[in-house]
Amino acid sequence: MPARLPPSQVVPKVRETIVRERMLAGGETIVVATSGGPDSIALLHVLRRLQPEMRLRLHVAHIDHGLHRSAAAHARFVRLIAKRWRLPVTVRRVDVRGAAARHQLTLEEAARFRRYAALSQVAQRVGATHIATGHTADDQAETVLLWLVRGASADGLAGIPPVRRHHGLLVIRPLLNVWRDEIIAYLTAEGLRWKTDPTNRGRRMLRNRIRQDLLPHLAGYNAGVKAALSRMAQQAAADAVLLDRLAADAEAIVVRRSKAGVVIDAAGFRALAPALQRRVAHRALQAAGGNIRDLAFVHIERIRLMAERHRPGERADLPGLRAHGTSTGVAIARVSAG
């Protein structure tokens, strides 16, 4: 890992990230996701430091997932911090276990789903355009490994994007280039307290096992493994941006949309490189109404091969979709619920 950033340089580093990634232009209303943990307290404190020069309006949002007994204490702590710093605050309780059961998700997936839904509701209520979360460089390294273990595509290696759109809002990660030990040093230097989430120590969640077991083991082979993973994420993200632009241009030529779904032109599709074929196939599946959460590599590859070899009459069933070979290519349409 590179030399640790002095506490005095954390705010300038975050300012640099905000400017480079075009997270903010100035004058925005931001919902700051604040769990009470070190990362979110540091995020809130740094944004408060930047508030005058960037003319920011901050609204603290605490989402209680109801997954540990100290949740109420954490909510009280965040309310106290917001009151002390004279910031408006909203506390929301979400049903993570119920969402996991209804949607067949892991607790981690359900927590993320309900958390962002609640943050979006708070943002809409207070007129915010941005949601800020406290993801760090450590979270980035863990996410890259998480996707690798799960069998990610190349896009998975890009990890956590510094900026992404979510239901008309911008989700920003200003701490994404700051390491967790730098955050702890910053909080300590500023005399700030934080709460520790006991679920971060549990071993049921894969991310926790990656943090506690896999990363320390890999550090035995390369002491700078986390920094290497973070650099790889940045490179993969830049490559993904370029490939997405090329895929959008190719899609406009080889994919035709209709009320029934989409049709991929086989002749034009064959002329594309395999990397672009996969991206165009993915975009076509989404354009036909496919749920991005249900579309795995195997589904994208099935469509790619169908369009590549072009056999009229060939059929394939995919999650919520059906594809069949036509005289000119591959047609993809949603399967009606009835």
- List pLDDT tens digits, range 220-256: 999 999 999 999 999 999 998 999 999 999 999 999 9
Provide the total of helices (H) and of strands (E) in the chain, helices listed first: 13, 11
Give the span between the Cα atoms of 207 and 147, in whole angstroms: 10
Q: Are 325 and 306 in contact (CB under 8 A)?
A: yes
- List pLDDT tens digits, range 181-234: 999 999 999 999 999 888 777 788 888 999 999 999 999 999 999 999 999 999
Give the span between the Cα atoms of 79 and 336, in whole angstroms: 47
First-to-last alpha carbon distance for the chain, in angstroms, is 55
The 3-state DSSP class for residue 97 equals helix
Q: Which fold has domain 250-334?
A: 3.30.465
Give the span between the Cα atoms of 94 and 92, in whole angstroms: 7
DSSP secondary structure letter of residue 332: E
Distances (CA, A) of 295 to 50, 102, 289: 40, 19, 11
Do β-strands 329-334 and 261-265 pair in parallel, antiparallel, or remain unpaired? antiparallel
Q: Are 111 and 146 in contact (CB under 8 A)?
A: no
Residue ranges for the chain with pLDDT beneath 50: 338
Whole-number pLDDT of residue 112: 86
Whole-number pLDDT of residue 250: 97
pTM: 0.86
| Integer-rounded Cα radius of gyration of the chain | 22
Q: Are 56 and 43 in contact (CB under 8 A)?
A: no
Domain 7-219 homologous superfamily, CATH: HUPs (3.40.50.620)
What ranges do the domains of the chain cover? Answer: 7-219, 250-334
Instruction: Return phi, psi of residue 43, to 5°.
Output: -60, -50
Q: Residues 264-271: contacts with CB within 8 Å, 24+ apart?
A: 264/303, 264/307, 264/329, 264/330, 264/331, 264/332, 265/328, 265/329, 266/307, 266/308, 266/310, 266/328, 266/329, 266/330, 267/328, 267/329, 269/307, 269/308, 269/329, 270/307, 270/308, 270/310
